[in-house]
Chain A
Amino acid sequence: MSEQPTPVSSAPDFNDPAVLAQLRARQRSRALFMAGILIALCVLFYVITIVKIGVWG
């Protein structure tokens, strides 16, 4: 976790293709991260339910 994203202190220029590409990359990264969290929560709730109804353990 030592690598820090580049600080953005001023308003980004979305006309710049490089900025636009960075924007898309961050949106993609966050979307994948959110998807990962949602899948993990689904699995967690499934496992909790299985344990609670006494099937496992």
Chain B
Amino acid sequence: MGNDKTMTEAVPQMNAQPAALAGQPGVIMPAHWRDFWALTKPGVIRLVVFTGLCGLLAAPGHIHPVIGFVAILCIAMGAGGAAALNQYHESDLDALMKRTANRPIPAGRMDREAALQFGLALSGFSVVIMGLAVNWLSAAILAFSIFYYAVIYTVWLKPNTPQNIVIGGGAGAFPPVIGWAAVTGDVTMLPILLFSIIFFWTPPHFWALALFVKMDYARVGIPMMPNVAGEKSTRHQVFGYSLVLFAITMAPYALGLTGATYGISAAVLTGIFVALAARVGFRVAGEGDTLKPEKQLFAYSIVYLFMVFTALVVDRAVVPVIGV
């Protein structure tokens, strides 16, 4: 984090003579700490932390609150490290897209090497602390999820296949499994289903976004589904995945792993999701269309995931305690 050009080459010490470096090409100001914070994608971390916490709370057994806090902290650090590595790799593309042009590296507020070192340090610390303080199974899953996002998704899948979101969705699906493993030390059917819920939620969630920012992706040559398979096919797939999501979301109840609180909540919430996806799936957007249904589906999909996981925790951790 402290090894960007500005810190080591340009201004190695407080008493150095920075005037000698005036106008030197490639020398930029040290990044502000807020830029390091932005590098971790705090908005994404919120969802990751929440689903990880839900996995931890839904797991049977007991975990000391301090160790539980450490587990969630490590999940957040790991996600932040992976996000930093993602931005390190994609800084050239980010500079070309309106949505990402103001990120610290493309905006010229941070050196790329600083982002790389920050990402590696954060990722490494998160895995080691998780292993030492919690258990090595959760640390191993955390390490694999970081690798999955930073290398398999960012470097390999995203620039090469329109299925990038489908397969890459796995990266964001690990947190509840890690949270569960932190408590139990193993991985059973329910955490696998929680993984699957996020996995099958990702394509309709992201393609709803891709439908209204597709020009950005097309400009930088990233093969997002609307640009490769066409808008009509993408819309049909959004609806198709929402049906799979419905089946997966109901599976914990159908298999007797959760109670009626979750079952009813999941049915209603996913029913609304499918209805919104159907609206997106079977419409044709004309010239000048504001794409309101797509924006609504994207916005609802975020709320949806929060609510489904909240219902799961209420069902598994709250209802048995209050004896409803």
Which A residues have a C-beta under 8 Å from some C-beta of B? 1, 3-5, 7-9, 11-15, 19-20, 22-24, 26-27, 29-30, 33-34, 44, 47-48, 51-52, 56-57
A8 and B33 contacting across the interface, CB-CB below 8 Å: no
Query: Can you show 16 pairs from A to B with CB atoms below 8 A apart?
Result: A4-B38, A5-B31, A7-B108, A7-B109, A11-B22, A14-B22, A15-B19, A15-B22, A19-B29, A23-B11, A26-B32, A30-B2, A30-B32, A33-B36, A48-B132, A57-B66
B108 and A8 contacting across the interface, CB-CB below 8 Å: yes
In-complex Cβ contact of B30 among A4, A27, A48, A56 (8 A): A27
Q: Which residue of A lies closest to B14 (CB)?
A: A27
Q: Identify which of residues 1-16 in chain B touch chain A, using a CB-to-CB cut-off of 8 Å.
A: 1-2, 6-7, 11, 14
Chain A min CB distance to B83 (Å): 15
Known: A27-B14, A34-B2. A7 touches B19 (CB 8 A): no
Which A residues are CB-close (under 8 A) to B42?
A: 1
Known: A1-B38, A27-B14, A30-B2. A11 touches B33 (CB 8 A): no
Chain B min CB distance to A6 (Å): 8
B34 and A23 contacting across the interface, CB-CB below 8 Å: no
Which A residues are CB-close (under 8 A) to B2?
A: 30, 34
